[in-house]
Chains A and B, each alone.
Chain A
């Protein structure tokens, strides 16, 4: 089976010449959820922007980045962007519509779908993220958590096979974080989550890749990597508390995952 994401020896320099990514190589199978970790400035966001051809500024198509087997090149950006859903770090950059519904409809209408289909997609995306009641609200009236969910809806409405998320839980209060985490758990498909939220990675991603200075310094099972205190500290991270009180090789099924019913109540899934 073709990997969902295949990066081979990817290099990238910023326009002023500073190297940003050096010889990055990894592959992600369809359906995998992978965490992308690293200190600030390690190149995580830059790497994500390569997945749908936003970077490099002129995609050469050399095959350094392949999505579902297809090399990202200037001529197939449209097709690539249909498959890759990218969630940006600042929800205000992504929520540029005048109302939530209008913003979520942006992607489907760019796909050329008829208005009825666009409408259906908008409604189902809003329902999935629990924002149906907020459809006609302007974005500046939403809370940070609601904005992030609206961004997710906007991306889900395009029905991508692959989700790339840049710091999805930053700036969220604990409830917002719980709700977003529960949403992400429910979304099927391949996921690559660039984040500082180490506990999120432990809970969601069985595998992690660590970047530092534009290079891949580690790639393996999340718990193993994050338990490696020396590795973590060497690359600007740390061993998260969630692992300090658990045996180094926990079975994650030992603690039942919690699901939010959209309000204050959490019930274990059983």
Chain B
């Protein structure tokens, strides 16, 4: 699994670019429209793909997004392209062909990466709340986002503490230990969930 999102923080250089300050709902809507459109239009409509690519690259430039992490993340997509190419080769001329898949997939991926880079997750949650997504789901998303880093830090600390006392590493022992670490992580998460409920109740939630 990859590291924490590279794009978690907006660029701190001076005034935040216009894109970052645009309303989250608008950005979400545009991103979804672009992705959905790109996924369904026929591959032969090259003008669509070219226009979308141009728009995305403009946004990258205007929003001052760093190239390198973006490019690195796009490369993650290559195994899928390779898989599609292999499948295409095996199944013959019928089917959309790996190039189409690669093009569409990359454009949609870039769209979502840019959305993540220019919009904070909390802003997206507010949008979800406004469009009447059930409160339980929004709360779950919010709490997950809030405690994600905490829990992964806890998991890392537990792993490190165990590693300090592991003198003869073996695969079997690593599996047992990792299983225990995840188990303890769940117990801690449940206990913390209980305490969070108390803290919410203490401030009037019911």
Contacts and interface: CB of A to CB of B under 8 A. Distances in A.
A and B touch in the complex (CB under 8 A): yes
Contact of B122 (A81, A99, A106, A107): A99
Given A98-B125, A102-B122, A138 B202 contact: no
A98 B198 contact: no
A52 B201 CA distance: 9
A141 to B, nearest CB: 8
Nearest to A157: B203
Interface stretch (A88-96, A189-197, A205-213, A228-236): A88-96
A106 B192 contact: no
Contacts of B202: 52, 54, 81, 84, 86, 88
Interface in B181-206: 192, 195-196, 198-206
B55 interface: no
A154 B192 CA distance: 19
Given A97-B146, A98-B121, A98-B125, A106 B198 contact: no
Contacts of A110: 203-205
Interface of chain B: mostly helix, strand, loop or mixed:
helix
A154 B142 contact: no
B146 A94 contact: no
A93 B146 contact: no
Contacts of B146: 95-98, 138-140
B201 A54 contact: yes
A237 interface: no
A84 B202 CA distance: 8
Interface in B147-206: 147, 149-150, 192, 195-196, 198-206
Interface residues of B, number: 22
B178 to A, nearest CB: 24
A210 B125 CA distance: 46
A111 B183 CA distance: 38
B204 A158 contact: yes
Interface string B105-148: 00000000000000001100100000000000000001101110
A171 to B, nearest CB: 14
Contacts of A102: 122
A94 B197 CA distance: 9
B204 A94 contact: no
A81 B198 contact: no
A82 B150 CA distance: 29
Contacts of B145: 98
A19 interface: no
Interface of A: 49, 52, 54, 78, 81-82, 84, 86, 88, 90, 92-99, 102, 106-107, 110-111, 138-140, 154-155, 158
Given A92-B147, A98-B121, A140-B146, 10 more contacts: A54-B198, A81-B201, A92-B150, A93-B192, A93-B198, A96-B196, A96-B200, A99-B122, A110-B205, A138-B146
